[in-house]
Amino acid sequence: MLEGAKRSLRSEQVPKLTSLSIYRKKKPRKIMNPDDTIKNGPFSWRVETLLGSGGFGDVYKVYDEKNKAKHYALKTESEDGKKSMLRLKVEVKVFMTITEGRKTNPNGFKHFVEFVDRGKSEDLGCKFVVMSLVGPSLDDVRKKYGVTLNDRSTPYIVAIQSLEAVRDLHSVGFLHRDIKPANFAVGFGPTEPTVFMLDFGIGRSYLDPKTKQHRAPRKSVKFLGTLRYASRACIKGIDQGRKDDVECWIYMVFDIFDPEEGIVWKKVAGRDKITRAKEKFFEGKSKEAYKLVPYNLKTIVSYVDSLRFQSAPDYPFMINYLFTMSNQAGFPINDMNKGAWVGSLKNKKTGTGERTDKLSGSNDSDT
């Protein structure tokens, strides 16, 4: 077949190629089996099972051979992928920044997994990170486990915890840029009541590395994210600031309160139409979005719409307002550990019940 390809190229007088590597099939990615190990410094990570796979890597449930009782998630990323699609480097940078933040604030950053190890496997042709295990994503909690997240105080608990995560990420100088239910997960074991932020693969520092001041906006930015939850600026190719993460968070909160009609553009196709639907939403012309969503959430919607590129969102105002809303709705939050999913996932288990960051980069759609 290769010789045929060569003859075909010659017969059509195509300029001589220095390499015919374009005709070689991409090597299949190596998958680890149970009991395989990766040794890295003081750690010897032994595979227990494969948790999931994506376009550029896999996630395994592992344990360190020195302590078989404690399990972690080991996430790989193949080095064969297109550089612009590889995300692990960014995630490691975010993890390390959060780890540094925990040194000065030991009780902070509770909405982020524990970063344990990172390294490179020559045998597998990949880089990897090891982190603590978490449970299913908010999206899976609803769709695969059938847990209702919009009942009583639960949507307020989800909204508050996820906004705390956004606040904490911003506090160390990073934007997430892909806030959505699939990128938050509930905890596992003792941390089950906690909502964790996942997937920092398209995150970006909003601070200038030299001055540590807010960056100036770039003139044009390629779209990265999920169209359904992306901010208006993101869709338009405008550089994002902290306000854009909070705008995405608003869309997610509406989706949590009302999975069917909270996002009125859910069945709309095309960037222009979706952008216009989001603009109408912020103009107060989408009353159907408030069928199940408390109308006084519009106060936060209006506040976020007033923010500008370099604005520092008032997180305490928004969090306190959510507590007030919950009280006014007759569901005072006396315990943030009382989300509807707590204690109910084991009874409705469909898989491992464990998860770490999603495996592939984000795209334009939300399937």
Q: Which residues are catalytic?
A: 178
User: Of 188, 190, 185, 217, whose CA–CA distance to 204 is shortest?
Assistant: 217
Cα 3 → chain centroid: 46
How far lies 252's CA from each of 158, 183, 293, 300, in Å?
Answer: 10, 10, 12, 13
Check whether 6 is labelled as a binding-site residue. Answer: no
How far lies 192's CA from each of 110, 137, 188, 333, in Å?
Answer: 12, 12, 5, 17
- Residue corresponding to tokens 């898989």: 351
**195 DSSP 8-state letter:** E
Q: How far is Cα 142 from Cα 11, in angstroms, rounded to an integer?
A: 58
SS3 87: coil
Angle between helices 271-282 and 298-305 (to 10 degrees): 110
User: Of 111, 141, 142, whose CA–CA distance to 258 is shortest?
Assistant: 142
Q: How far is Cα 177 from Cα 185, in angstroms, rounded to an integer?
A: 17
User: Of 158, 66, 72, 61, whose CA–CA distance to 116 is shortest?
Assistant: 72
- Residue corresponding to tokens 């707590």: 342
Angle between helices 298-305 and 242-257 (to 10 degrees): 160
SS3 128: strand
Q: Tokens in use for 299?
A: 């106060």
Which residues does the annotation place in the binding site for ATP? 75
